[in-house]
A and B are shown apart, each in its own frame.
Chain A
Amino acid sequence: MSQTLLRVEDLHVTFGISPQGAMPWTKPLPLHAVNGVSFDLKAGETLGIVGESGCGKSTLARAVMRMVPASGKALWLGQDLLKLSKTTLKETRRDIQMIFQDPLASLNPRMTIGQIIAEPLNTHSPDLSADEVKAAVQEMMTRVGLLPNLVNRYPHEFSGGQCQRIGIARALILKPKLIICDEPVSALDVSIQAQVINLLMELQEELGLSLIFIAHDLSVVKHISTRIMVLYLGNEMEVADAAALTENPRHPYTQALISAVPIPDPGQERGKTRIMLEGDLPSPINPPSGCVFRTRCPKAQNRCAEKKPALTGDGHQVACWFPDD
């Protein structure tokens, strides 16, 4: 089996929220955005992270990138990313790059795309000559399917899909080992989504990349991922191989999620039963006791309110007291 690139253990991200009308000296309320998440990522693998809005998907990614303060462990090839000094962190950043949700907003409107794609290179290898940088940029542009003669254009002159390709080129130019994709296709329409995802998969194959792919669209995640992790209110609900999770979900939340995925066939779509979840996402400032999902769970019992279920099982892990088999 290939090497473990990233091992995240019991990662917590807590924000301080000052309540409305608070005095400057009152203690801010803790908001547990990510609550004890653990996972392993092997080289060449894709980990899909799904969950509804506000469940901590992006915060998890940002915690791994050290862009929000986090506690716990995130071991990158054995080194704890959360404890690295600034200089070593910069070295490690070469290997971990990120792709963002809004393709246009993630590109500086005052820079040409040549400058944008070259920026990581200029940051991490400042001794490269201008010609070398230019050659690298043009090679990368060809690779992601952009004409290299567009280097002097500005981001606003491109479509959303092209902008996302620029974002991918920027992430790839340092030849990283891991790319964290924070909802890279949510802002694109379906046909462009397919192009971008296929591009990502091709590049992954070619360069042996690992991906952390965050999305709220299960069918997209299923297509690209090796393993899928389901988050709810900052807690892991279920982690399993993509096929196992989508075909045989064991957690009631995952079951509800999967039943909500539309089937592109009106006959089947009409016939299927959707599991409707009652109520809304509880407030992360004041999460329910025990299992966080119990307030909306069709199977909730007394035990669920008393103690939080741990993530159990090997291969197909579930955090539920009464999982389906």
Chain B
Amino acid sequence: MLLDTHDVKELSANLAEMDEIKGRSLWADARNRFKRNRAAMVSTFILIGIVIFSFVGPYLAAWSNEEIDWSVLGKVKELGAPSWSNGHYFGTDDLGRDLFARVVQGTQISLMVGVVGALIAVLVGTTYGAVAGYFGGRIDSVMMRIVDILIAMPFMFVLILLLVVFGRSVFMLFVGVGLISWLDMSRIVRGQTLTIKNKEFVEAAQAMGVSHFKIIFRHIIPNLLGVVAVFATQLVPLMILTESFISFLGLGVQEPATSWGALINEGAATMQYGTLWQLLFPLAFFIVSLFCFFFIGDGLRDALDPKDR
């Protein structure tokens, strides 16, 4: 006898009494994979930095975003350049307003539009798509045809009309962005739901007598959140771009409030007068953030890719 039976028994007793072992969920695995992706991690930190900047910025700024520096007005090209001494860290805009304060404020608006748009997409689009896909049949047809009709509308036109009719406000911008952002999401989610609802664990839940509502929220949605997360991170820059385009057209947020799109618009208009900083600062924030979002989206897709398992 190579093994002492007593020892073995003791060992098995110990094993059984051992504390509950914490399992590694698929989320934990994905988190580890994401952490190993350097570009995505760097982007995450830069993005966190930008978000912190947009909240802390107002306390650092020497000027508010609507004050006009009369000493600079009219001589923006000579005196309005970025400098530490007069407190205009990013210089001033054409009217002598502090660009630093305006970029901080624009960052807030732009990020908010992006996040709100993506959030509406995630909440509405996921639920809508999952319900349509799960019930299938006629319900599915009707729900998806509604989405088709909404997608077929030229949304830029609808958005502009909305802003013209109801007046330009940040709230209307959110409504407009929210109205369009969930459409693609619901289609993607519906497609995923169709594959998930035929898996055996959903059938098992049905056999068990779990209600449809719980099946959708406990079994289907957690299994498609990976796709949703990836698509949402790519939706954020899309929403920012949409808002920027609207602001670039002169609709969108109202003065003195501003956004990246509006700032870039102003900066582009005065480009030929040699005040290039008015374009470059907002543009730099815009581009860096978009890149960050895209890298994070890429990282998430790699991390959550179901093919890895």
Contact = CB atoms under 8 A, between A and B. Distances in A.
Interface of A: 65, 67, 89-90, 93-94, 97-98, 100-102, 105-112, 119-120, 123-124, 147-154, 156-157, 167, 170
> What is the interface residue range for chain B against chain A?
20 to 34
25 contacts: A67-B206, A67-B207, A93-B209, A97-B207, A97-B208, A98-B204, A98-B207, A100-B204, A105-B200, A106-B203, A106-B204, A108-B201, A108-B218, A108-B222, A109-B223, A110-B222, A112-B25, A148-B16, A149-B16, A151-B20, A152-B23, A154-B24, A156-B309, A157-B24, A170-B204
B219 to A, nearest CB: 5
Contacts of B205: 108, 119
Given A93-B208, A98-B207, A124-B209, A106 B20 contact: no
Given A108-B223, A119-B208, A156-B309, A100 B200 contact: yes
A124 B208 CA distance: 9
Interface of B: 15-27, 199-201, 203-211, 214, 218-219, 222-223, 309
A101 B203 CA distance: 11
Nearest to B208: A120
By DSSP majority rule, is chain A's interface helix, strand, loop, or mixed? Answer: loop
A98 B210 CA distance: 13
Contacts of B27: 110
Contacts of A170: 204, 208
Contacts, number: 88
B19 A149 contact: yes
B209 to A, nearest CB: 4
Contacts of B214: 123
Contacts of B210: 119, 123
Given A93-B207, A94-B209, A152-B22, 5 more contacts: A67-B207, A93-B209, A110-B26, A111-B218, A153-B23
A254 B201 CA distance: 33
Contacts of A65: 207
B183 to A, nearest CB: 25
Contact of A123 (B18, B22, B200, B208): B208
A106 B200 contact: yes
Given A93-B209, A97-B208, A119-B205, A150 B200 contact: no
A152 B21 CA distance: 6
Contacts of B15: 147, 149
Nearest to B198: A105
Contacts of A109: 26, 201, 223
Contacts of B21: 149-150, 152-153
Contacts of B26: 109-110, 154, 156
A196 to B, nearest CB: 16
Nearest to B214: A123
A207 B271 CA distance: 84
A122 to B, nearest CB: 9
Contacts of A101: 200
B201 A107 contact: yes
A107 B23 CA distance: 15
Contacts of B219: 108
Q: Which 4 A-B pairs have the closest CB atoms?
A: A153-B23, A93-B209, A106-B200, A110-B222
A152 B22 CA distance: 5
A156 B306 CA distance: 12
Contacts of B204: 98, 100, 106-107, 167, 170
A90 B209 contact: yes
B208 A67 contact: no
A121 B58 CA distance: 54
B16 A67 contact: no
A110 B206 contact: no
A44 B23 CA distance: 37
A112 B23 contact: yes
Nearest to B17: A149
A105 B16 contact: no
A228 to B, nearest CB: 23
Contacts of A150: 20-21, 23
A157 B207 contact: no
A98 B200 CA distance: 11
Nearest to B207: A98
Contacts of A153: 21, 23
A105 B309 CA distance: 13
A110 B214 CA distance: 14
A152 B19 CA distance: 11
A107 B210 CA distance: 14
Nearest to A102: B200
